[in-house]
């Protein structure tokens, strides 16, 4: 069986027999989704570099949206611009530790947020960009949990070790619903 696997898992670590134990999982995922302005499935098609007035270099990406899973406006957007710190500008290079590894042609599930600067940034550093990869070996996929993607506390119960893309999107839609209207303090 061939899975489209997100190299990041929302699996819970409670034993099956104790699945009713700590139940923070869905709430945590809902909080993570709530903090994002946008959650988008799409493909990165372009990147460019911007240097701001403080001298910070940003990489600006273009995402061709396949499906918006959360968007503050009706989802007619086909391309989407977002940034993260780090990049090249002339002879200068900047590295911001904890940035996501985003490459042209990557298929991603992207979480972004405007943190107050007037543009959408990758949320939560490298945890806010899930690279979609085709993994043929389910056992290997099970071990490919990528802790970058989701905050450590973000667990989904009851999860699975490998999640196909459709299943993940379904979980995200549900989490977005749970988070809707609950409000979120801070920026």
Partner 1 sequence: MKTTRLGLMAVVLTGLCVNLAAAYTHYGTSVTANGGLLYWPSGSMTYRVNSQAASQFNIVQPGNVSSVIDQAFGIWESGCGFNFTRGSQTSVTNAGYDAINLVTFADTAANRSALGGIACRTILTFNSSNVIFDADILFHPDLTITTVSSSTDVRQPNAHPLLPMMLGQAGHCIAVMSSPIQSASMMRYVAGRTAKTEAGRLGTFLTRDDQIAANVASAKTGFFTGTGTISGYVTLGGAKVYGAHVVAVDAATGIVAAGNVSLGSNQGTKFGYYRIKGLPAGAYKLYAEPVDAPYASDNWEGIPSWGDYWGGDFTGGYRTTFQGGNAAPASVQVAAGGTTAVNLAVSSGSHSILPIYNALVPAGISPAQAETGSVLYQTLNVHTPIVLKPGERRTVAVNGVGLIGTTISCSDPAMTVDVSGLRTGVLGDDTEYLIFQLAVPATSAEGPRNLIFKSGAETAVMTGAIYIDPQKPFIRRNSADRTWRLME
Specify the residue for token string 């667990």: 155
Cβ proximity to partner 1: between 27 and 146 the closer is 146
Distance in angstroms (rounded) separating the CA atoms of residues 26 and 5: 20
Q: Does 72 bind partner 1 (CB under 8 A)?
A: no
Q: What is the CA radius of gyration of the chain?
A: 17
Cβ proximity to partner 1: between 148 and 169 the closer is 148
- Look at residues 43, 50, 117, 125 and name the one whose alpha carbon lies nearest to residue 87: 50
Q: Which helix (H) or strand (E) holds 43?
A: strand 38-51
User: Per-residue string for binding with partner 1, 74-113, x by CB under 8 A?
Assistant: ----------xxxxx--xxxxxxxxx-xxxx--------x
Is residue 31 helix, strand or coil?
helix
Cβ proximity to partner 1: between 23 and 79 the closer is 23
Minimum distance, C-beta of residue 71 to partner 1, in the bound complex (Å): 19
Minimum distance, C-beta of residue 76 to partner 1, in the bound complex (Å): 26
User: Which residues in the 113-172 window bind partner 1 by CB under 8 A?
Assistant: 113, 115-117, 119, 121-126, 128, 137, 139-140, 142-148, 152-153, 155, 157-162
Distance in angstroms (rounded) separating the CA atoms of residues 125 and 99: 5
Minimum distance, C-beta of residue 9 to partner 1, in the bound complex (Å): 6
Q: Which helix (H) or strand (E) holds 88?
A: strand 87-89
Distance in angstroms (rounded) separating the CA atoms of residues 149 and 88: 24
Exactly one of 1, 54, 73, 181 binds partner 1 (CB under 8 A); which one? 54
Minimum distance, C-beta of residue 170 to partner 1, in the bound complex (Å): 17
């Amino acid at each position: 069986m061939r899975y489209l696997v997100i190299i990041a898992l929302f699996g819970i670590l409670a034993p099956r027999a104790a699945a009713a134990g700590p139940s923070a999982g869905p709430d945590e995922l809902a909080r993570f989704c709530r903090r994002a302005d946008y959650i988008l499935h799409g493909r990165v098609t372009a990147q460019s570099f911007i240097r701001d007035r403080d001298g910070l270099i940003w990489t600006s990406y273009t995402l061709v949206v396949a499906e918006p899973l959360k968007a503050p406006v009706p989802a007619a957007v086909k391309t989407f611009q977002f940034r993260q710190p780090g990049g090249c500008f002339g002879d200068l290079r900047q590295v911001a530790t904890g940035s996501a590894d985003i490459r042209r042609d990557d298929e991603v599930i992207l979480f972004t947020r405007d943190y107050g600067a007037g543009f959408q940034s990758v949320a939560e550093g490298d945890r806010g960009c899930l690279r979609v990869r085709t993994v043929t070996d389910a056992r290997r996929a099970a071990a490919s949990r990528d802790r970058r993607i989701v905050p450590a506390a973000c667990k989904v119960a009851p999860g699975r070790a490998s999640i196909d893309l459709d299943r993940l999107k379904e979980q995200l839609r549900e989490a977005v619903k749970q988070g809707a209207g609950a409000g979120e303090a801070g920026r």
